[in-house]
Amino acid sequence: MKSSLNLSRLFRRVLLAGAGAGMLASCSTLNYYTQAAQGQLALLSDARPIDDWLADPATNTSLRHRLETARQIRRFAVQQMGLPDNDSYKNYAALKRQYVLWNVVATPELSLKPLQWCFPVAGCVNYRGYYSKNEAQAYARQLRAQGRDVEVGGVSAYSTLGWFSDPLISTFINYPDAELARLIFHELAHQVSYVQGDSRFNESFASAVEEAGVELWLERFGNPAMREGYARYKVRRKDFLGLLLKYRKELERTYTSIVPDETKRIAKARLFIALKEEYQVLKANWGGYAGYDRFFAEPLSNAHLASIATYNDYVPAFRAMLRNEKDFRAFYRKVNALAKLDKSERQRALKLYELAAPPATFMVQRTNNAMP
């Protein structure tokens, strides 16, 4: 009964916060926040403690191993990295779907600037999340009817920024060990520091914690095969994001050029064809690795590239800061002090660390989103 009462209070907390933020502007607004509250509530309701899963005779050997690995990673995050020692990632939810939610991203037809939606927890973000794929696609159809470019992308994991106890989920539990560690470290880092409206700061900080954490974790628990596998993963990610960034820049040049809109549309179509063709070459160079095929599940549009940004811009600065502090907890105190500054002051402070640091890579904000 106590658990049910707690979940009921959580439901009201999410729904009332959303309704207040939306000012009950329309039925569609209220419906959106209701599905978000119900989706989060269902996820929490489905989650059971890891110990319960391990004690259940019906739990198969493979899942037992994954849960034990996740628990060891979680313990490392607290003991060696000073990440929050709370109930996040101590429960597990087995979902009957491929993704935990689906994000809708939209842009104008001839622009890469994404639409923004503002929420009480995450602040203003470039996506709108749905726990139902059908509802996400229905909203996407509305946006397309308005002439927007739209992408509906599946999300394996997200952070509630400490509002709730985020569970391990079947959508990512089978990631290779180092990638599972990367995800858990990244999401827990969002609970340490998060500034509304400053995605570059938030994602760069979490990525820096993730990188440093995986290096330490592999040093302690990795074997040659794990290290080699994670190195391949990093190379493929860098190659793929480099490819997307290349075509994003080409599209930006096209859209800002002084030519008729019809000429821009023709160039746009040609660039997306070229992107798909070049991806096939890249895929062959990887030996046929198909992990990024899902990016092309829908016809390519501006929305596919709108989420690509320099969210790793400040990773070198944060890594330099961590080296200077020589301690994760001292590093977090420094980061939270920066978080209290206004955006321009924060950027200037980070630039001082960046001066002697190498350039960072690029990333897609697709699987590490805060809950709307």
Residue 97 lies in a domain: no
Q: Quick one: pLDDT at residue 371?
A: 40
Taking residue 358's Cβ as centre, other Cβ atoms within 10 Å add up to: 9
Residue 318 lies in a domain: yes
Q: Quick one: pLDDT at residue 334?
A: 95
Q: Hey, what are 67's tokens? A: 């849960």
Q: Quick one: pLDDT at residue 366?
A: 43
Q: Quick one: pLDDT at residue 311?
A: 61
Q: Do the Cβ atoms of 291 and 236 come closer than 8 Å?
A: yes
Q: Which residues pair with 270 in a beta bridge?
A: none
Residue 251 lies in a domain: yes
Q: Quick one: pLDDT at residue 197?
A: 81
Q: What is the pLDDT of residues 344-364, one digit of tens each?
A: 999 999 988 877 655 544 444
Q: Quick one: pLDDT at residue 121?
A: 64
Q: Quick one: pLDDT at residue 357?
A: 59
**Percentage of the chain surpassing pLDDT 90?**
73
pLDDT averaged over every residue in the chain: 88
Q: What is the pLDDT of residues 66-101, one digit of tens each?
A: 999 999 999 999 999 999 999 999 999 999 999 999
Q: Quick one: pLDDT at residue 119?
A: 76
Question: Which residue range is the domain that position 316 belongs to?
Answer: 48-87+177-372
d(CA 158, CA 152): 16
Residue 102 lies in a domain: no
**Percentage of the chain surpassing pLDDT 70?**
86
Q: What is the pLDDT of residues 119-142, one digit of tens each?
A: 776 677 888 999 999 999 999 999
Residue 62 lies in a domain: yes
> Over 50: is that where the pLDDT of 228 sits?
yes
Residue 137 lies in a domain: no
Residue 125 lies in a domain: no
Residue 83 lies in a domain: yes
Number of domains in the chain: 1
Q: Quick one: pLDDT at residue 265?
A: 98
Q: Average pLDDT, stretch 314-338? A: 93
